Amino acid sequence: MVGSGIAGLAAAWELTSRSSDASVTVFDPGPPGGKIRTTQFEGRAVDEGPDAFLTRVPEAVQLCAELGITGELVGPAAGSSMVWWGGRLRPLPDGLVLGVPGRLSAIARSGILSPFGALRAGLDLLLPRTEIPDDLSVYDLVAARFGKEVATRLVDPLVGGIHAGRTDELSASATVPQLVSAARRSRSLLLALRTMGSAGPTGPVFLTPRLGLGRMVEVLVSKLKERGATFADRAVGPLAPTAGGGISVDGGERYDGVVLAAPAPAAAGLVDAVSPSAATGLREIDHASVVVVTMSFPAGSVPVPEGVNGFLVPRTAGRLMTACSFASAKWPHWGTAGRTLVRLSAGRSGDERAIGLGDDTLVERLSEELGIALSQRLPAPDSARVTRWAGSFPQYSVGHSRRVASIDAALASDQPGIALAGAAYRGAGIPACIGSGRRAAGILLAMTSPGRDRGLGVG
Ligand SMILES: Cc1cc2nc3c(=O)[nH]c(=O)nc-3n(C[C@H](O)[C@H](O)[C@H](O)COP(=O)(O)OP(=O)(O)OC[C@H]3O[C@@H](n4cnc5c(N)ncnc54)[C@H](O)[C@@H]3O)c2cc1C
């Protein structure tokens, strides 16, 4: 495996689950987990990057079951989300699916849309079916059905927030395939989503191990070692074909197959020599940078709205902050007596201000914005932790799925034995990354002949 993020680890898990004779090496210069990083903050294990996974997409729930840690999973405290719009925090209306309204009365009452915007949203029920091309931007899809206000005030903060991207650039088929298929199936998107919503699963939408997502990584690494996988803490250099078939890593060790689970820009550098066209395609996938600032305030000094887990900030609000999680309200196990924890995010595609600011400035500016949102002057936080995630969010621009299919095809024809996995291709959430790792392992296993001692993996 090249890369020990969750995609690379999932690939190693799949290989060792399906083939007892596979010899697997996982290369990574950094600690296992990649963007999953749980560290101590104020005496508690608090995630610095992702803090939970979706349950609707089953791969993470399934992996936790295989690892025997299902009993350790907890959901967020029941709570709602808000959006910072028009100078104050407003509850997100009920019935939204990725920001798209499922109930018109709820969005009309929310105050997030103007009366004209609410009326325009209702036109979805009357307009003829929208012809959906092969791909289009999320913004174009939503604005065609519900108008610009729903697209900029509801869908952009939610979908743009998930991807740290711009909905006028993000591919609808790659980021919101469920909306595209609903729009293709039905004349009214609202009516199609209402049917989907009522058929949805029950239980928490998100889960996470009580000791943080790092716990999943810790158990996975330990069980992989029990199965004989080797962990090499170094970066892999350019890959090259070897004379008798197979792939060499750094001009040295030879492997039957390689799962390339490093981020796309790093993966491009590794396949330059074996597949220039795959490398070009990989470099076309842009990435956005974000910063996560975790702050601890004395309890009572932050007026957290009752039953609210956090709020989103639309791009058009022009703030540095993109989202706020009332972390100790959302995850009670993160709380310590007498302390209120918040996690504030900044940075998205086209807004690189945050990544360039110093730690003190970030803490000062973001806590000041938090005070404005909550209409209360806040004290300086007692402690703060700044985590910079440079180039961390792959941007699935319009045409992404076709681009990924051509990269896969180029690699398969230029250098069979290399399979891609990770956030840059078919979903950036943890479940999708796990799925991509398992899929890549399956591709390698299908290519290697049965009964042969398999050096996989391997980077
Ligand atoms: C701030 C933040 C919050 C997020 N929140 C959520 C969330 O709440 N829920 C959710 O589902 N998702 C969330 N995500 C998305 C999710 O965390 C990531 O998409 C996912 O963890 C990426 O996994 P990966 O294995 O593809 O890549 P990574 O985790 O990036 O792992 C890639 C690994 O490859 C290694 N590598 C690079 N070059 C080489 C080389 N030459 N040789 C060997 N190794 C190399 C790197 O060191 C790294 O460890 C969040 C992401 C961020 C940044």
Domains of the chain in start order, with CATH, are 6-75+207-285+398-456 (3.50.50.60), 85-198 (1.10.3110.10), 287-394 (3.90.660.20)
Q: Phi and psi (nearest 5°) for 81?
A: -120, 160
pLDDT of the residue at 455: 53
For ligand 1, whether the C-beta of 5 sits within 6 Å is: yes
User: What is the distance between the alpha carbons of residues 58 and 345, in angstroms, rounded to a whole number?
Assistant: 27
Atom of ligand 1 nearest to the CA of 387: 1
User: What is the distance between the alpha carbons of residues 271 and 293, in angstroms, rounded to a whole number?
Assistant: 35
Torsion of CA 416, 422, 423, 429, to 10 degrees: 140
For ligand 1, whether the C-beta of 425 sits within 6 Å is: no
Q: Residue whose CA is closest, atom 7 of ligand 1?
A: 50
- Exposure string of 75-112, with b = 16+ CB inside 10 Å and e = fewer, is ebeeeebbbbbeeebbbbbebbbbbbbbbbeebbebeb
For ligand 1, whether the C-beta of 437 sits within 6 Å is: no
Three-state DSSP at 81 gives: strand
Comparing CA positions, the residue from 333, 337, 304 lying closest to residue 209 is: 333
pLDDT of the residue at 335: 81
DSSP conformational letter for 357: S
Tell me, in angstroms, the distance from the centre of ligand 1 to residue 34's CA: 5
Tell me, in angstroms, the distance from the centre of ligand 1 to residue 53's CA: 13
User: What is the distance between the alpha carbons of residues 20 and 332, in angstroms, rounded to a whole number?
Assistant: 41
Tell me, in angstroms, the distance from the centre of ligand 1 to residue 236's CA: 17
Tell me, in angstroms, the distance from the centre of ligand 1 to residue 37's CA: 9
User: What is the distance between the alpha carbons of residues 131 and 184, in angstroms, rounded to a whole number?
Assistant: 8
Atom of ligand 1 nearest to the CA of 389: 53
For ligand 1, whether the C-beta of 44 sits within 6 Å is: no
For ligand 1, whether the C-beta of 32 sits within 6 Å is: no
Residue whose token pair is 């919503």: 197
Per DSSP, which regions of 3-120 are E strands? 22-27, 38-41, 44-47, 53-54, 73-74, 80-85, 88-91
For ligand 1, whether the C-beta of 7 sits within 6 Å is: yes
pLDDT of the residue at 444: 92
User: What is the distance between the alpha carbons of residues 304 and 329, in angstroms, rounded to a whole number?
Assistant: 8
Q: Residue whose CA is closest, atom 19 of ligand 1?
A: 428
pLDDT of the residue at 171: 98
Q: Residue whose CA is closest, atom 10 of ligand 1?
A: 429
pLDDT of the residue at 458: 42
Tell me, in angstroms, the distance from the centre of ligand 1 to residue 254's CA: 26
Sort strands 88-91 and 308-312 into parallel, antiparallel or unpaired. Answer: unpaired
Tell me, in angstroms, the distance from the centre of ligand 1 to residue 162's CA: 14
For ligand 1, whether the C-beta of 49 sits within 6 Å is: yes
Residue whose token pair is 């997030």: 112
DSSP conformational letter for 136: -
Three-state DSSP at 336 gives: coil
The best mutation among 9, 25, 35, 324 to test binding of ligand 1, ranked by most ligand atoms within 8 Å of the C-beta, falls on: 35
For ligand 1, whether the C-beta of 46 sits within 6 Å is: no
pLDDT of the residue at 108: 87
- Exposure string of 301-335, with b = 16+ CB inside 10 Å and e = fewer, is ebebbeebbbbbbbbebebbbbbbbbbbbbbeebb
Three-state DSSP at 290 gives: strand
pLDDT per position as a tens digit, 181-195: 999 989 999 999 887
Digit-by-digit pLDDT tens for the chain (459 residues) are 899 999 999 999 999 999 888 899 999 999 999 999 999 999 999 999 999 999 999 999 999 999 999 999 999 997 899 999 989 999 998 888 888 888 888 888 888 999 999 999 999 999 999 999 999 999 999 999 999 999 999 999 999 999 999 999 999 999 999 999 999 989 999 999 887 755 555 788 999 999 999 999 999 999 999 999 999 999 999 999 888 788 988 777 889 999 999 999 999 999 999 999 999 999 999 999 999 999 999 999 999 999 999 999 999 899 999 999 999 999 988 888 889 999 999 999 999 999 999 999 999 999 999 999 999 999 999 999 999 999 999 999 999 999 999 999 999 999 999 999 999 999 999 999 999 999 999 999 998 755 444 555 543
The answer to whether residues 15 and 456 touch, using CB atoms and an 8 Å cutoff, is yes
Tell me, in angstroms, the distance from the centre of ligand 1 to residue 274's CA: 24
Q: Nearest-5° angle of CA 63, CA 66, CA 70?
A: 80
For ligand 1, whether the C-beta of 429 sits within 6 Å is: yes
pLDDT of the residue at 268: 98
CA 271 to chain centroid, in Å, comes to: 25
Hey, what are 310's tokens?
């956090």
Tell me, in angstroms, the distance from the centre of ligand 1 to residue 430's CA: 9
AA letter at 421: A
Diameter of the chain measured on Cα atoms = 70
Q: Phi and psi (nearest 5°) for 288?
A: -105, 155
The answer to whether residues 355 and 391 touch, using CB atoms and an 8 Å cutoff, is no
User: What is the distance between the alpha carbons of residues 274 and 240, in angstroms, rounded to a whole number?
Assistant: 6
